[in-house]
């Protein structure tokens, strides 16, 4: 119940910030935070194997909890809901139903793939698996920075014009 409450609170907070901060900034913050949260969580799994003098094994549970909560917070701030909003804004109206269906198919196919491979990856390396997912989130930061336009304050017509080949802002 506590985790769900955190997720609801930060999703609502994201909705309040959406038109002030912008979609792109929240996505960048979200993906960066998710990557750092995975770094923390991976560190929690790594500590018992590494015997680091400056980080005792007794700190692993706190790091694991912090990493999980940070991941939920940052996911809820952006990556949880904003991609669906941007999808509905950047896909032209005449293609929205087909393209939206393909995006949902792709999303759930990748969720299925992650679910099916997680146990095997985790058995191979607990910290390596979490760091792999953190790396994917870091690649997401680069993708958002280079490919995702800011749609805050733009009408659907302005957004559609932005994607036309001959558009010159």
Count: domains in the chain:
1
| Residue 77 counted as domain residue | yes
In a domain, 168, yes or no: no
Q: What is the pTM of this model?
A: 0.88
Domain presence at residue 26: yes
Q: What is the CATH classification number for the domain harbouring 16? A: 1.20.1250.20
Nearest in space to 24 (alpha carbons), one of 86, 88, 107, 92: 86
Q: Is residue 72 part of a domain?
A: yes
The pLDDT value given to residue 159: 85
For 113-155, the pLDDT digits (tens) are 999 999 999 999 999 999 999 999 999 999 999 999 899 989 8
pLDDT digits (tens, 9 = 90+) for 27-38: 999 999 999 999
In the DSSP assignment, the letter for residue 78 is I
CB 26 within 8 A of CB 14: yes
Does residue 169 belong to any structural domain of this protein?
Answer: no
- 124: domain range? 2-162
Please state, in angstroms and rounded to a whole number, the distance separating the CA atoms of residues 35 and 30.
9
Q: How far apart are CA 117 and CA 140, in angstroms?
A: 20
CA distance 65 to 63: 5
Has residue 143 been placed in a domain?
yes
């Amino acid at each position: 119940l506590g985790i769900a409450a955190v997720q609801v609170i930060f999703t609502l907070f994201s909705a309040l910030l959406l038109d002030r901060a912008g979609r792109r900034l929240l996505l960048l913050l979200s993906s960066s935070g998710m990557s750092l949260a995975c770094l923390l969580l991976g560190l929690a799994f790594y500590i018992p194997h590494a015997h680091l003098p400056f980080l005792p094994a007794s700190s692993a549970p706190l790091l694991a909890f912090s990493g999980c909560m940070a991941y939920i917070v940052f996911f809820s701030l952006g990556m949880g809901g904003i991609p669906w909003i941007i999808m509905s804004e950047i896909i032209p109206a005449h293609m929205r139903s087909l393209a939206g269906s393909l995006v949902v198919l792709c999303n759930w196919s990748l969720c299925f793939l992650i679910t099916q491979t997680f146990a095997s990856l985790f058995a191979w390396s607990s910290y390596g698996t979490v760091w792999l997912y953190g790396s994917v989130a870091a690649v997401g930061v680069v993708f958002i920075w280079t490919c995702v336009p800011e749609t805050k304050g733009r009408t659907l017509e302005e957004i559609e014009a932005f994607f036309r080949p001959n558009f010159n802002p």
